Structure 1
Amino acid sequence: MSDTTAPSTRRTISFLLPVYDEAENIEVFHAALVESAAHLEDRYDVQFLYVDDGSSDGSLAVLKGLHDRDPRVVVLALSRNFGHQKAVTAALDACHADAAIIMDTDLQDPPRVSLDLVAAWEAGADVVYAQRLTRDDSAFKRATAHVFYRVLTRAASIDIPRNTGDFRLLDRKVVDELRLYREHNRFLRGMVSHVGFTQVAVPFHRDKRHGGSTGYPISKMVKLAGDGIFGFSTAPLQLISRVGMAFSLLSLLGIVYALVVRLAYPENAVPGWAFLAITLFLIGGVQISMLGILGSYLGRVYVEVQDRPLYSVADTIGDPW
């Protein structure tokens, strides 16, 4: 008679962990994560799903070492750098656990907060997002983040919570819904808001980056902001019409003023070549800016029509569930 092991009936939680050039942070982060996850292991089976997003600093080798020492570690190695949002998407596509917790690996998202996310999920929430009360960043980054969230709140067609990143817990049914969203210019926190379900916030204090340099320099921050605004709002297109109407009104007022001066006060009529040149340059600049907005939307349509894969996986180490 063969000896078979009954499958585990315990629920599962998978930590989804995108990595890009984090070699000096991974070991410290993983130790802190394991320490926090130990508080869950009496109730859940836990897995750590790392996605190496084409790192060039030896991060993949460190991750392979983690897998050799800890069989709960699974590694997806992407074929090149596809970007943070697509690395998280790869993890979501591979995840089949009852709940997924998305975290960055630079220790700005404290692993201990994941216990609060799980507690809120156990209380009935489908999405639990970590909302920053404070953040240990430069004044410039705090100021630009503040401006971004204010603009996004006003422009977006859905309610995207302020001061949140991708640090959140997603129930299985939410992960399944997100896997249907295949647009290339991805803004995951907007997609999660668009999905709906029961969503609650867990406030936390964001820590300082442990080491290395941020994977989000100003250029990537601007692109992410554009993905959020253009992906979830038609406000820029509406702005074109409003600016056009405003300049038409100004032109009409200018015509009325010129006629009044010319007919009623001809002695005050002075040729205004400088004013005319400035006006032409201003209108030309506005027109080019508006064409740029149209081009942004058109470019996104072009990328979506190509329908290329979001990412490519070069290697899978371990068995994700």
Structure 2
Amino acid sequence: MTNPPAERAERCASLSVVVPCHNEEANLEELHRRLAATLPQVAETWQVVLVDDGSTDGTARIGLELAAADPSVQFLSFSRNFGKEAAMLAGLEHARGAAVVLMDGDLQHPVELIPALVARHLDGFDQVVARRSRTADPKVRTALSRAFYRVVDPLIDVPLDDGAGDFRLLSRRAVDALVALRESNRFSKGLYSWIGFPTAMIDYDNVQRDAGRSSWTLRTLLDYAIDGILSFNTKPLRVVIWLGLWMVGLMLLYVVWLVVGVAAFGVETPGYVTTIAALVLLAGVQLIVTGVIGEYVGRIYSEVKRRPAYLLRVDTAEQPAGPGGGPGPADRA
């Protein structure tokens, strides 16, 4: 599979690139170099928004240096780690371009694919999604990812596409629609699908990380799957209702079987193992049901507090911008 070239030579009037960063000091300079070489080909003016999500390495120092040296770079730094969803939201809120590209800072999203994204956007698409292959992924990770989509997709109200992540181009109206969604528990994969608008796909070969270490673990992926299931519907509540009904039905069948056994063979010594197994099973089901209900209650609790999704420690756009590709503070939305 090869990366498709851009299909036309026209450029966007303005383009913003939003890059959430967490402990990416080893990749930021190379990312900036590649962006600086690519963005003049596809936009009249451009902006790069680097969002430091509470990094513990030198990401903040490098981000400040890049912003000081290049007026097209805006650097945001959170007061602590708020998570990638908050970092993407902050980037979108500070992006001023007529089109916005979301990409990771680990160089696994090829910068050289941006011209192809822009070309499809100029064809009239509000979302142009870069969908990666999984050819170079470890087999265990690939199996878990595919299992995630098989399990989550039927349980939520919007379709999810395997391999389609956060690397995408969004039109201004798509960005405005995403920013207008003020929910605290954000699941962007579902939000992209929920807002709709004409969407195109571009396939590209998977790229392995050159430096640094991924923050995604089995636990974070499992938490992400739970967020996806609970963020867009109440189907899990319906599932536990059916689970309870099935358990009641099985218990009734068990009672009938016991009655028939007593009528046919008389009273026998009660089965200790059977009783304990039934109690453990019922207790487990009750805990699962209570946990699902508790998750929904907890999310309601988070929403009604209406806390901001993030707090900024640094925003270089508050300082005067020099000449170059980056708009000054007066242009901020």
- TM-score if structure 2 supplies the norm length? 0.89
Residues 101-180 of structure 1 aligned to structure 2 (within 5 Å): 101-134=101-134, 136-180=136-180
Counterpart contact for 1:160–1:189, Cα < 8 Å: yes
**Structure 1 residue 233 displacement after superposition:** 2.7
Q: Where does residue 4 of structure 2 map in the other structure?
A: none
In the aligned structure 2, how far is the partner of 1:35 from the partner of 1:291?
54
Q: After TM superposition, give the deviation of residue 96 of structure 1 in Å.
A: 2.3
Comparing 114-123 with 31-40, which one deviates more in the overlay? 31-40
Q: Is the 8 A contact 1:126 1:198 kept in 2?
A: yes
Decide which of 32, 38, 49 is 2:40's aligned counterpart.
Answer: 38
Q: Is residue 22 of structure 2 the alignment partner of residue 20 of structure 1? A: yes
- Cα deviation, residue 257, structure 1: 0.9
* Cα offset, 1:272, TM superposition: 1.1
Letter in 2 for 1:21: N
Counterpart in the other structure of 2:182 = 182
Letter in 2 for 1:150: R
CA distance in 1, matches of 2:224, 2:135: 19
State the secondary structure of the residue aligned to 1:97.
coil
> Is the CA contact (8 Å cut-off) linking 1:133 and 1:204 kept in structure 2?
yes
User: In structure 2, how many angstroms separate the alpha carbons of the residues matched to 1:290 and 1:264?
Assistant: 37
Identity, % of aligned pairs?
Answer: 34
Confirm or deny that 1:271 pairs with 2:270.
Answer: yes
Q: How many residues align?
A: 310
Partner SS, residue 47 of structure 1: strand
Kindly state the Cα deviation for residue 57 of structure 1 after the two structures are TM-superposed: 0.5
CA 1:253–1:33: 2 relative to 1, 3 Å: same
C-alpha deviation, 1:161, in angstroms: 1.9
CA shift, 1:217, in A, is 2.4
Conservation of the 8 A alpha-carbon contact between 1:79 and 1:314: yes
Match of 1:292 in 2: 291
Distance 1:233 1:135, change over 3 A: farther
Q: Is the 8 A contact 1:17 1:88 kept in 2?
A: yes
Indicate the SS of the match to 1:154.
helix
**TM-fit CA distance, 1:270:** 4.3
Q: Which residue pairs with 2:239 in the alignment?
A: 239
Q: Which runs of 4+ in 1 moved over 4 A?
A: none
State the alpha-carbon separation in 2 of the partners of residues 222 and 135 from structure 1: 22
2:224 partner SS:
helix
Quick one: distance in 1 between partners of 2:80 and 2:207?
29
CA-CA distance at 1:251 after TM superposition? 1.0
Query: In the aligned structure 1, how far is the partner of 2:247 from the partner of 2:261?
Result: 21
User: What CA distance in whole angstroms lies between the structure 2 residues aligned with 1:137 and 1:38?
Assistant: 32
Query: What letter corresponds to residue 224 of structure 1 in structure 2?
Result: Y
SS of the equivalent of 2:134 reads strand
Match of 1:64 in 2: 64
TM-score with structure 1 length normalisation?
0.92
Cα deviations by residue, 1:198-240 (Å, 9 ceiling, x for unpaired): 1121111120012111122233222222211110132211111
1:250 aligns with 250
Match of 2:228 in 1: 228
CA–CA separation in structure 2 for the residues paired with 1:259 and 1:130:
62
Find the residue that maps to 1:24 and give its secondary structure. coil
Unaligned 5+ residue runs, structure 2? 1-10, 318-327
How far apart are residue 278 of structure 1 and its match? 0.8
Counterpart Cα distance in 1 of 2:245 and 2:316 = 58
Q: Is the 8 A contact 1:135 1:207 kept in 2?
A: no
Partner of 1:48: 48
Rounded Cα–Cα distance in structure 2 between residues aligned with 1:277 and 1:222: 30
Q: Distance in 2 between matches of 1:63 and 1:264?
A: 80
Match runs of 1:191-230 below 5 Å? 191-230=191-230
Aligned to 1:281: 280
Partners in 2 of 1:15 and 1:100 — Cα distance?
A: 6
The answer on whether the counterparts of 2:174 and 2:195 sit within 8 Å (CA) in structure 1 is yes
